[in-house]
Amino acid sequence: MAVCPSNCTTDLVGLPQEECKPKIRKSTLSRFIFFPCNIELPDPITDENIVPFFEDGSIVITRELAEIVVGEPTFEEISVSQCRPPLRQVATREITFRDFNAVSTVTSPATGVDDYLDYDFWQDKVDSANRLRYGIVTCDGDVKLAKDENGNYLTADMTAFLAYIIPGGGGANTEYKDVRIRFQGDPLNLTVKPSFNIIDAGIVI
Angle formed at CA 151 by CA 148 and CA 157, multiple of 5 degrees: 45
Over 80: is that where the pLDDT of 109 sits?
no
What is the DSSP-derived secondary structure letter of residue 20? S
Q: d(Cα 124, Cα 115) in Å, to the nearest integer?
A: 16
Q: d(Cα 78, Cα 59) in Å, to the nearest integer?
A: 36
- Tell whether the torsion through CA atoms of 178, 181, 182 and 187 is positive or negative: negative
Q: d(Cα 205, Cα 141) in Å, to the nearest integer?
A: 11
Domain boundaries, the chain: 29-197
Q: d(Cα 197, Cα 174) in Å, to the nearest integer?
A: 32
Over 90: is that where the pLDDT of 10 sits?
no
Over 90: is that where the pLDDT of 188 sits?
yes
User: Once rounded to an integer, what is the mean pLDDT over residues 84-111?
Assistant: 87
Mean pLDDT for the chain?
Answer: 92
Phi-psi domain of 67 (left: phi exceeds 0; alpha: psi -120 through 50; beta: other)? left
Contact between 83 and 4 (Cβ < 8 Å): no
Over 90: is that where the pLDDT of 139 sits?
yes
Phi, psi of 11 (to 5 degrees): -100, 100
Q: d(Cα 168, Cα 170) in Å, to the nearest integer?
A: 6
Instruction: Name the residue among 149, 154, 155 with its Cα closest to residue 193.
Output: 149
> What confidence tier does 6 reach under pLDDT thresholds 50, 70, 90?
confident
Across 78-98, b (16+ Cβ under 10 Å) vs e yields eeeeeeeeeeeebebbbbbbb
User: Once rounded to an integer, what is the mean pLDDT over residues 49-72?
Assistant: 97
Over 90: is that where the pLDDT of 164 sits?
yes
pTM over cut 0.85: yes
